[in-house]
Amino acid sequence: MSDDAQWQLGIAIGVVVILVAAVIVIAIVMLAARIDRQAKTAVGAVEVLRKQTDALAGIGQVNDSGVRILHAARALRKVAVGK
């Protein structure tokens, strides 16, 4: 193979390698953009969920009060029935 043919083959292989690398980089950038869009959607959904569940912040206290009322009612029933 002549020197000119070797140079041409080397350049052709170099161009192919660069094209393959470019395709890989483009694919990575496209996937990153897709992940970014999905993450923005998820952040929005979490914000909506937070707003919807803010009212439940005091549910533990409501639960405790309900349990106390139930115990008091049972105690009153025992006194009223005599058991």
Summarised one tens digit per residue, pLDDT across range 37-46 is 999 999 999 9
Q: Where are the domains of the chain?
A: 3-81
User: With bands split at pLDDT 50, 70 and 90, how would you rate the model's confidence at 83?
Assistant: low
Summarised one tens digit per residue, pLDDT across range 7-65 is 999 999 999 999 999 999 999 999 999 999 999 999 999 999 888 888 777 778 888 88
Give the integer Cα–Cα distance in Å for 53 and 47: 10
- The three-state (H, E, C) secondary structure of the chain, written as one string: CCHHHHHHHHHHHHHHHHHHHHHHHHHHHHHHHHHHHHHHHHHHHHHHHHHHHHHHHHHHHHHHHHHHHHHHHHHHHHHHHCC
Question: What does pTM read for this prediction?
Answer: 0.56
For residue 56, the model assigns a pLDDT of: 76
